[in-house]
Amino acid sequence: MFRGENDYDALVPPTKLLIVAISRKIVAEYMETVEHVAVHDWLKRGMFLVNDTASIASMIEVFIGMLDVCHEDPEVLSHPEVRSALMQKAMETLAPLILQNFKVPAIVHREFNHVQIVRRAREFLLDNISEPTQIIDVCRELRISRRVLQYSFQDLLNINPVSYLRLLRLNGARHDLVNASDCTVQVKDVVASWGFWHLSRFSSEYKKIFNELPSETLSRVKKGVQSNFSSGY
């Protein structure tokens, strides 16, 4: 990774490159808000090499997955919820590599009231459930790091906050599908409005929880709407 305004000379064999540009301002804000690590000065340095092959392979897989989704359906980016979710996923993937360059202090559990943190986080998420809320928003609102938030949720609910937020959104999408009164509603529109950018992955998780595919839910609801319309006519 390196700063985009600099030129670098390199001799490499024929290869494929995946280049992702992210604003330094976005990176710095995310790291300081979510990880409580100041990286502004560090980002001014030149090149940063990562020797962790497994982490690099995982990161590439994530970015290619996001690019594939956007390539297959460019309209998905018209949803602010999806754009927010994609940026969140990109930073979640990048942050661990950056943290390798910093000493992160250990968390002393007795310093935090996990019950209060979970209660306030749940209230904030539920109050803003219709917005493209991300974990960074929770950390900013509660003024705590991602690690403190995660330890609190794991300690009380045995689930991490990302999964908890995902469950809330899955239920929100389910609610919209079940209550769809317009026969032109499509699954992909409902999914995107709740910040899900990978349709097949969403469908798999949806079926695991609700024992049917989202398309099956919507099809059943539309049949009911059409039936009621015919009866009323």
- The domain limits of the chain are 1-103, 105-159, 160-233
Q: What is the mean pLDDT of residues 195-222?
A: 90
User: Is the Cβ–Cβ distance between 128 and 88 less than 8 Å?
Assistant: no
Alpha-carbon distance of 147 to 36, in angstroms, equals 10
Q: Lowest mean pLDDT: which of 47-51, 105-109, 208-212, 214-218?
A: 105-109
Band of pLDDT at residue 109, cut at 50, 70 and 90? low
More confident site: 31 or 43: 31
Alpha-carbon distance of 35 to 222, in angstroms, equals 45
Q: What is the mean pLDDT of residues 156-172?
A: 92
User: What is the pTM (predicted TM-score) of this model?
Assistant: 0.77
pLDDT (0 to 100) of residue 153: 94
pLDDT of 46 over the 80 cut: no
pLDDT (0 to 100) of residue 226: 52
pLDDT (0 to 100) of residue 209: 93
pLDDT digits (tens, 9 = 90+) for 133-152: 899 999 999 999 999 999 99
166-173's contacts with Cβ under 8 Å and 24+ in sequence apart are 166/205, 167/209, 168/125, 168/126, 168/129, 169/129, 169/194, 169/195, 169/196, 170/194, 170/202, 170/205, 170/206, 170/209, 172/129, 172/130, 173/202, 173/206, 173/214
Alpha-carbon distance of 84 to 197, in angstroms, equals 10
What percent of the chain is predicted at pLDDT more than 90? 40
> Per the structure block, which two tokens stand in for 42?
């560090």
pLDDT (0 to 100) of residue 110: 63
Alpha-carbon distance of 51 to 119, in angstroms, equals 40
- The values of phi and psi at residue 186, to 5°, are -115, 150
Q: What is the mean pLDDT of residues 29-41?
A: 91
Give Cα 56 distance to the centre of its chain.
19
Q: What is the mean pLDDT of residues 75-91?
A: 89
pLDDT of 227 over the 70 cut: no
What percent of the chain is predicted at pLDDT more than 70? 89
Alpha-carbon distance of 182 to 176, in angstroms, equals 11
Nearest one of 108, 95, 106, 180 to 134, comparing CA atoms: 95
Average pLDDT across the chain, whole number: 85
